[in-house]
Amino acid sequence: METVKEFASKVVNNVEKVIVGKRGPVESTLLALLCQGHILIEDVPGTGKTILARAVALSIGCSFRRIQFTPDMLPSDVTGVSVFNQKTHEFEFRPGPVFAQIVLTDEINRATPKTQSALLEAMDERQVTVDGHTYPMEKPFLVLATQNPIEYEGTFPLPEAQLDRFMLRIHMGYPDKASEIAILGAQQFAHPITTLEQVVTQEELLAAQEAVKQVYADDLIKEYIINISTATRNHPDVYLGVSPRGSLALYRTAQALAAIRQRDYVIPDDVKFLAEPTLAHRLIISPAARIKNIDPKEVIQDILSSVPVPGARVASR
């Protein structure tokens, strides 16, 4: 796992040159990248969501595109459109901004559900179908979506099918006093993003992604993950629990976290650490629980405290 650890250290240290005091969100983004997943960043404006996406893209040397979602945007504005060429008398496909390796979908909940659904195929199957033709996405492919949890006017809540395709939901949060002072000093003359350089290659990323898949997870760990997911489906405060895709997301990210921490095996603490960011956004709280202001995070913490943690397996002689 030395390869994954070295890769992670290079990327995280480089991104932290522009994202100060937010190692947790930076590492979470890297986890999704290693697991070929997508991230939903939910936070107020100005906390560095866009800069985080740009910094990751520059660190790996990936192509980066930003889509500013608005209510009048059409699905073709995301995926692309076929245009008739007068010279060749044939239709030519002009790819949309989703055809990039790292795509930032800013304020995703401001687009209509019809436009939001244009991302579903790209996020799940790494391809886009337009006018009956299927176009594959370039590897690696990562969607970082942002939404403002405060302002709801003129927004369209993400449907469950859309939320379920995000491997992680993270929050940037405000920086502490020392970090904010460091930000002011770093941007006195120019933004440090302008001088950020590539520190790893795409080949190294693909190698790290394959290495993560080799991390061992005992059957007891897999059973622990399923027990947590099953508990969300049977919890009295939950209307709709975690899907099998959620269980797989928790499993994959636990593998990646173990690799970053230089282990070739998953432990229960990895699962507990990632349960909230991988599962909470997939839960739909029941109306009765919503009246009591019960949060999905509280449900996950309640489940983690009640589901038995697996112990060590006794080796047979």
Angle CA 19–158–134, to nearest 5: 90
Q: pLDDT value at position 183?
A: 85
Distance (Å, rounded) from C-alpha 185 to C-alpha 306? Answer: 47
Q: List, for residues 79-104, the tens digit of each pLDDT value.
A: 988 888 888 878 888 898 999 998 99
64-68/102-106 β-pairing: parallel
Q: List, for residues 274-316, the tens digit of each pLDDT value.
A: 999 999 999 988 888 888 888 889 999 999 999 998 876 655 5
Q: pLDDT value at position 312?
A: 60
Distance (Å, rounded) from C-alpha 264 to C-alpha 284? Answer: 34
- CATH 1.10.8.80: does it fit domain 215-306? yes
Cβ atoms of 12 and 33 closer than 8 Å: no
Angle CA 128–29–258, to nearest 5: 115
Domain 2-208 maps to which CATH number in 3.20.20.140, 3.40.50.300, 3.40.50.2300, 3.40.5.50? Answer: 3.40.50.300
Distance (Å, rounded) from C-alpha 49 to C-alpha 312? Answer: 40
Whether pLDDT at 215 is above 90: yes
CA-nearest of 221, 253, 216, 269 to 38 is: 253
Distance (Å, rounded) from C-alpha 214 to C-alpha 270? Answer: 16
Helix (H), strand (E) counts: the chain: 14, 11
pLDDT band at 186; cut points 50, 70, 90: confident
**Pair of tokens at residue 291:** 């009246």
C-alpha to C-alpha distances, 295 to 1, 2, 104, 246, 277, nearest whole angstrom: 36, 38, 27, 18, 13
Reported as type and span, the H/E element at residue 250 is: helix 244-260
Cβ atoms of 254 and 270 closer than 8 Å: yes
Q: List, for residues 33-56, the tens digit of each pLDDT value.
A: 999 899 998 888 778 888 888 888
- Look over the chain and give the mean of its residue pLDDT values, rounded to a whole number: 87
**Pair of tokens at residue 139:** 């590897």
Angle CA 193–171–103, to nearest 5: 50
Cβ atoms of 58 and 193 closer than 8 Å: yes
The amino acid at 139: K
Q: pLDDT value at position 189?
A: 82
Residue extents of the structural domains in the chain: 2-208, 215-306
Please state the pTM of the whole predicted model: 0.87
**Pair of tokens at residue 137:** 């996405």
Q: pLDDT value at position 24?
A: 87
Q: List, for residues 144-174, the tens digit of each pLDDT value.
A: 998 887 766 777 888 888 888 999 998 888 8
Reported as type and span, the H/E element at residue 225 is: helix 219-234
Residues 6+ apart with CB under 8 A from 153: none
Q: List, for residues 225-271, the tens digit of each pLDDT value.
A: 999 999 999 999 889 889 999 999 999 999 999 999 989 899 999 99
Q: pLDDT value at position 1?
A: 65
C-alpha neighbours within 13 Å on the C-beta side of residue 33: 30
Check for a shared fold between 2-208 and 215-306.
no
